[in-house]
Amino acid sequence: MSKYAFGVDIGGTTVKMGLFDTEGNVLDKWEIPTVKDNGGEKILPDVANSICAKMAEKKLTKEDVVGIGVGAPGAVDDHGTMVGGAVNLGWGVLNIPEEINKVINIPVKAANDANVAALGEMWQGGGKGHSNMVAVTLGTGVGGGIIVDGKILTGATGAGGEIGHIHIDDNETEVCGCKKKGCLEQYASATGIVRLAKRRLAKDEKASVLRSQEISAKTVFDAVKANDEVAIEIANQFGDYLGRGLAAVACVVNPEVFVIGGGVSKAGEILLSYVKPAFEKYVFTPCKGAEFALATLGNDAGIFGAAALILK
């Protein structure tokens, strides 16, 4: 009886890999370098060979393995084809299962890496026990992954869950990475928080520890924890923007839980204390019961979610 699955998370620098049992426990984790030469032609053979080596090491036969799940940085269709290629990897359009099956004949499923990470958080992370979830990644940008009835919502062009680009402020003068103005990402990402902080500090001369140090999402939330009044104002602004954005999301997909991850979420529970009240202020009452949780899998969310493509 098949008892194991592999989870593969292909990044621009390394490929993270994990061996899982069908209960969702990770039995082994390792990484291989992402070799991008010649249009990244070696990446998937390297993945397949690494899996073969791990199977030999663990004395697993093909019959022991249910399948291989893969998260990749780009839009992936239901057949595992990278429909727009993957610029970061040098890939043009290619079919991930086919490429892996040239080396080893085990069932393969593939999906977009951000969506796969969301699935991982639902399966074994901050969203465990739920099947309708929105993962919110607050990093350099604001990303999202939407899980409906336990399945990834991909959308027509793979842009399901791109919640960072919800238009949220008509008065914005600076341009977002997407070339529009006033996107949620301009306020709720790590760089967005820095922008909010600089604007607030420029407004007047009010004393703040932020005036004597480098400003980052981390220093802002550290200052909040130290009861710095200016930092608290900034956190309130951040919370208002994010709460309003997530309230809009809730009116659309009505999730059971929002799972907040990414670098900014390292601030911890205090972050949620600024987001939840704003969310509740703006959200449609029947959607108000949505829980808020922090992501717990960190950089492993991708391999967990990839395994979940097979095991869930």
Residue list 117-136, contact with its own copies (CB under 8 A): 132
Query: By three-state DSSP, how is residue 142 classified?
Result: strand
Residue 182 has what DSSP assignment?
S
Report d(CA 253, CA 248) in Å as an integer.
9
- Residue 22 has φ and ψ, to the nearest 5°, of -70, -10
Nearest CB to its own copies, comparing residues 75 and 306: 75
- Min dist CB 264 to its own copies, Å, is 19
**Does the footprint of its own copies cover residue 109 (CB under 8 A)?**
no
108 CA to centre of own chain: 21
User: DSSP label at 168?
Assistant: -
Q: How far is the CB of 171 from its own copies (least distance, A)?
A: 10
Q: Does 179 bind its own copies (CB under 8 A)?
A: yes
Considering beta carbons, is residue 9 or 162 the nearer one to its own copies? 162
Distance CA 110, CA 93 (A): 14
Confirm if 132 and 148 have CB atoms less than 8 A apart.
yes
Q: Quick check: 218 binds its own copies (CB under 8 A)?
A: no
Distance between CA 37 and CA 42 in Å, rounded?
A: 8
**By CB under 8 A, residue 255 contacts its own copies:** yes
Kindly state whether residue 82 participates in binding its own copies, applying the rule CB under 8 A. Answer: no
- Report if residue 166 touches its own copies, rule: CB under 8 A: yes
Contact (Cβ atoms closer than 8 angstroms) between residue 130 and residue 91: no
The one segment of 49-57, 59-67, 210-218, 254-262 that binds its own copies by CB under 8 A: 254-262
Among 11, 107, 155, 263, binds its own copies (CB under 8 A): 155
Residues within the interface to its own copies (CB under 8 A): 132, 144, 146, 148-149, 151, 153-167, 178-180, 183, 244, 247-249, 251-256, 282, 284-287, 289-290
